[in-house]
């Protein structure tokens, strides 16, 4: 009887997506399968994913990465959230911090009590009840502590900023030590099976030097071009530009600032927004914009005029259409990373989508039969992930009150997906927050963006009135004060890095 198991997995493309995929598979499959990764030094990587969200800690632990060594190798820093500037109205600032807000009281969520007291003028800013937000703005950092009973120090949640190219290099070393075979070369042809039950599947890739690389399962990490999933299998692409009109980005590093901030910053401009990602050796910057509303030269001028220090290179342009493949898994090809779709990096989800795709692939790992029902379920979950993240990003654009440009007015008045409209309607009524099927962004994330961009509920949960106003006010104030005392004992972000994970100084 023929062995049904897959013998060889071929990853097409390196970069963050290719090496993350290879690292996860090499760790999980324990040498029982042959893993080959094909990449060419002549083909550059996009590498926009320098900011992450907390789930990356889980990935790093699974593949056995030591946090301090990883941060040293990637010039990494810590991230407690994202500060949004000029998104609701010009001059507005708020932070989407990681982790919890406050502490729930009785049967109703903490934010419902806050909504009541805010309306009465008896509550502080929402961020005062978040240890990550207060620590970020105080330029403090430490990992969570679980040795102090009922302390907000246990609620510290964080992610990382790092150099994506250095992360890929770090993962490559880990993968090769675990048996992954890296093959250098450019692919000249993709060969498909011509006969049999699996006719049409990818059979092999042919390199320019004539080398033929065969496999049973192919992972497409070839970036925007989608060499296997699109150029070969013609899977199709679902374009979301009508909801998310930004279609270009300019990226440039600049010299470091005096303070090493523990958060990402996103600043809205006339026709898009600018990211600021602080690393140990530089600051990563980029301007995401709509080419229908601003020229490339204007976009570059805006970017260069808003840097903290001297630009260290010429701005590099990236063109994209926000959206997703109609199928992330088609036949014996799974697209991971930019080949599966693109979400602009407003909420730092690019690397998470890689991580999620790899986790789902492992859960539905196939044999050579490639069961159609399992593939359909993988594609359903992939679509759910993309669509829910899409809605959260649309929220930032749609929920604005700016009148300074056609771009922002168009975003404010555009029709939005029904799934997003439902969330907005629930929140407008009584501040209710809905999380569906463990979607990526929690109720706390939605709350911070909606409140930060000036959406005020008409009412609050009726059960809030079971507590007296004075008791509720005293409780909120006690939470605020305890968080403040915790932030006071935290070390400076730069001091923590210097002690635990400072990268070697780069030679000039």
Please tell me the distance from the alpha carbon of residue 289 to that of residue 504, in angstroms, as a whole number.
35
Active-site residue identified among 7, 36, 72, 79? 79
Specify the DSSP class assigned to residue 470.
Answer: H
Please tell me the distance from the alpha carbon of residue 281 to that of residue 251, in angstroms, as a whole number.
16
Please tell me the distance from the alpha carbon of residue 101 to that of residue 129, in angstroms, as a whole number.
6
CA distances from 183 to 32, 128, 215, 425, 434 (A): 19, 52, 14, 52, 46
Please tell me the distance from the alpha carbon of residue 170 to that of residue 183, in angstroms, as a whole number.
17
Please tell me the distance from the alpha carbon of residue 440 to that of residue 166, in angstroms, as a whole number.
26
Tokens standing for 201? 């599947």
Please tell me the distance from the alpha carbon of residue 496 to that of residue 139, in angstroms, as a whole number.
11
Contact in structure between 56 and 203 (CB atoms under 8 Å): no
Please tell me the distance from the alpha carbon of residue 195 to that of residue 190, in angstroms, as a whole number.
16
Specify the DSSP class assigned to residue 130.
Answer: -
Residue 219 phi/psi, 5-degree rounding, is: -110, 120
Residues 6+ apart with CB under 8 A from 1: none
For helices 110-119 and 469-489, the axis angle rounded to 10 degrees is 110
What length does the chain have? 508
CA distances from 182 to 44, 84, 172, 189, 223 (A): 16, 40, 9, 18, 18
Closest CA to 308 of 265, 272, 370, 250: 265
Please tell me the distance from the alpha carbon of residue 218 to that of residue 176, in angstroms, as a whole number.
19
The owner of tokens 């690292």 is 23
Annotation marks residue 79 as catalytic: yes
CA distances from 216 to 1, 10, 60, 203, 205 (A): 18, 8, 27, 7, 11
Closest CA to 265 of 345, 180, 147, 181: 345
Tell me the β-bridge partners of 267. 85, 274
Which strands form 272-278's sheet, in the order they lie side by side? 93-97, 81-85, 264-269, 272-278, 283-289, 248-254, 316-319
Contact in structure between 303 and 274 (CB atoms under 8 Å): yes
Catalytic residues: 79
């Amino acid at each position: 009887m023929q062995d049904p198991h897959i013998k060889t997995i071929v990853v097409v493309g390196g970069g963050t997506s290719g090496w993350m995929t290879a690292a996860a598979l090499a760790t999980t499959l324990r040498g029982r399968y042959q893993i080959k990764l094909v990449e060419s030094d002549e083909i550059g990587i996009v590498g926009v994913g320098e900011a992450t969200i907390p789930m990356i800690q889980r990935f790093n632990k699974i593949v056995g990465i030591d946090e301090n060594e990883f941060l040293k190798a990637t010039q990494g820093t810590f991230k407690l959230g994202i500060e949004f500037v000029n998104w609701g109205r010009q001059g507005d600032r708020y932070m989407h911090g990681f982790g919890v807000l406050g502490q729930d009281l009785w049967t109703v969520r903490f934010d419902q009590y806050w909504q009541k007291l805010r309306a009465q003028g008896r509550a502080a800013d929402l961020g005062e009840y978040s240890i990550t937000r207060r620590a970020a703005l105080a330029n403090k950092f430490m990992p969570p502590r679980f040795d102090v009973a009922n302390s907000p120090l246990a609620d510290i949640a964080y992610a990382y900023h790092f150099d994506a190219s250095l992360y890929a290099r770090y993962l490559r070393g880990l993968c090769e030590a675990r048996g992954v075979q890296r093959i250098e070369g450019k692919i000249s042809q993709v060969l498909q099976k011509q006969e049999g039950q699996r006719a049409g599947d990818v059979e092999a890739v042919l390199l320019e030097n004539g080398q033929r690389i065969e496999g049973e399962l192919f992972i497409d990490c070839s970036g925007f071009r989608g060499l296997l999933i699109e150029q070969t299998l013609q899977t199709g692409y679902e374009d979301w530009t009508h909801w998310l009109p930004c279609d270009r980005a300019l990226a440039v590093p600049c010299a470091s600032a005096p303070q090493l901030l523990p958060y990402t910053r996103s600043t809205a401009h006339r026709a898009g927004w600018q990211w600021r990602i602080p690393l140990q050796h530089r600051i990563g910057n980029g301007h995401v914009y709509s080419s229908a509303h601003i020229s490339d030269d204007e976009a570059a001028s805006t970017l260069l005029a808003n840097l903290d220090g001297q630009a260290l290179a010429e701005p590099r342009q990236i063109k994209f259409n926000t959206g997703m493949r109609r199928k992330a898994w088609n036949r014996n090809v799974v697209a991971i990373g930019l080949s599966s779709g693109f979400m602009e990096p407003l909420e730092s989800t690019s690397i998470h989508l890689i991580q999620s795709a790899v986790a789902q692939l492992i859960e539905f790992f196939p044999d050579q039969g490639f069961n159609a029902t399992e593939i359909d379920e993988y594609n359903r979950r992939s679509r759910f992930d993309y669509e829910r993240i899409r809605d959260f990003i649309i929220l930032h654009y749609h929920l604005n009150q700016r009148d300074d440009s056609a771009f922002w007015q168009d975003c404010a008045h555009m029709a939005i997906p029904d799934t997003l409209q439902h969330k907005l309607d629930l929140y407008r009524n009584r501040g209710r927050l809905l999380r569906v099927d463990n979607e990526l962004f929690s109720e706390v994330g939605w709350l911070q963006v909606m409140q930060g961009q000036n959406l005020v509920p008409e009412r609050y949960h009726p059960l809030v009135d079971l507590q007296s106003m004075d008791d509720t006010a005293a409780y909120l104030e006690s939470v605020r004060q305890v968080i403040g005392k915790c932030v006071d004992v935290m070390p400076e972000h730069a001091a923590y890095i210097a002690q635990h994970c400072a990268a070697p100084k780069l030679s000039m």
